[in-house]
Amino acid sequence: MKTKLTSLLALLLFITITAQAKVPSFKVVKTGKGPAMILIPGLNSDGEVWDETVKHYQKSYTCYVLTLPGFAGQPAIQTDHFLNTVRDEIITYVQENKLKKPVLVGHSLGGYMTLALSVKAPDLFGKVVVVDGLPYIGAAQNPGATVETIKPMAEQMKNSMAKMSPEMQKQQEASYGVTMATDSAHIKKVIDWGRKSDYKTTGQAMYEMYTTDLRKDIASIKSPVLVLGAWYGYKNYGVTKELTTNMYKGQFANLPTAEVKIADTARHFIMYDEPTWMFAQMDAFLQK
């Protein structure tokens, strides 16, 4: 009788703990073995964007590939604080799964997220790889831009995206996708993910990125940081590799230990356009 009672109490305790553990709003696909590596895709992107990266690292790392809520068909969440909500959920996930100093790899919005995570919980994470992401996107073209000067534009953008019809969203993604990668198959993927995304979430996420400036906050990051940038997709608009290098170094001026490397011919999706170069940079950085 005592044994049965003990088993019943253990079962009830397990159910209680399981119920208390919050299920994250993001999707996680776990692959590989070794130390933890968390890979975060960018705006509207599916975790599939990291497939080749996972193949490269799965023998050395346990890869946790995320797809964020509202993006590429993943169910959306209702929040006025999308970035901070996801950031805090990732922190909780790392703590609950007892991941020890996981490497953070993020693309675009995911790159911003790796910085936000490292600012909020500097002792929780290991090395950080930012793939074409910035601490403040609002100042990408104008270093003097501030949250106050950008906010009206950001609000207008958020409101217009929330009202977009499915047909307008299709057109928007078609025009956006062709600038993001070189290969037609990759462009099609990017467009398809955008069309499957919840545009209210997309607008909210973009609004928050334009109204959150981490340029000063990144000074508190304790982990080594590698920043990989791209410029080639904007070549026809007068952008050069030198200008892009200076812009990135300016954005990371308060984190002088950050290594900044700029790809030669990659568009925004560096993992698609210059994977060999990207892996070489990451390998050297992670092996230090």
User: 20 lies in a domain?
Assistant: no
Q: In the numeric block, which tokens belong to residue 36?
A: 């933890």
Beta bridge partners of 65: 29, 39
**What interhelical angle do 184-196 and 166-177 show, nearest 10?**
150
Residue-level pLDDT at 152: 96
Domain-located, residue 4 = no
Q: What is the pLDDT of residues 196-215, one digit of tens each?
A: 999 999 999 999 999 999 99
Residue 127 lies in a domain: yes
**In this structure, what are the phi and psi dihedrals at residue 156, rounded to the nearest 5 degrees?**
-65, -40
**258 assigned to some structural domain:** yes
When divided into structural domains, the chain yields a total of: 1
pLDDT single digits (tens) 24-79: 999 999 999 999 999 999 999 999 999 999 999 999 999 999 999 999 999 999 99
Pull the structure tokens for residue 195: 């069309």
Q: What is the pLDDT of residues 250-279, one digit of tens each?
A: 999 999 999 999 999 999 999 999 999 999
pLDDT score of 270: 98
The CATH number given to whatever domain includes residue 222 is 3.40.50.1820
Between 18-22, 132-136, 150-154, the lowest mean confidence (pLDDT) is in 18-22
pLDDT band (50, 70, 90) for residue 12: very low
The answer to the question of residue 251 being in a domain is yes
DSSP string for residues in the chain: -HHHHHHHHHHHHHHHHHHHSPPPSSEEEEEESSSEEEEE--TT--GGGGHHHHHHHTTTSEEEEEE-TTSTTPPP---S-HHHHHHHHHHHHHHHTT--S-EEEEETHHHHHHHHHHHH-TTT---EEEES--S-GGGSS-TT--HHHHHHHHHHHHHHHHT--HHHHHHHHHHHHTTT-SSHHHHHHHHHHHHHS-HHHHHHHHHHHHT---TTGGGG--S-EEEEE--GGGGGGT--HHHHHHHHHHHTTT-TT-EEEE-SS--S-HHHH-HHHHHHHHHHHHT-
Q: Which of 24, 66, 31, 22 is nearest to 46 (CA)?
A: 66
Within a domain: 72: yes
Whether 177 maps to a domain, the answer reads yes
Containing structural domain, residue 279: 27-287
- Is the residue at 10 inside a domain? no
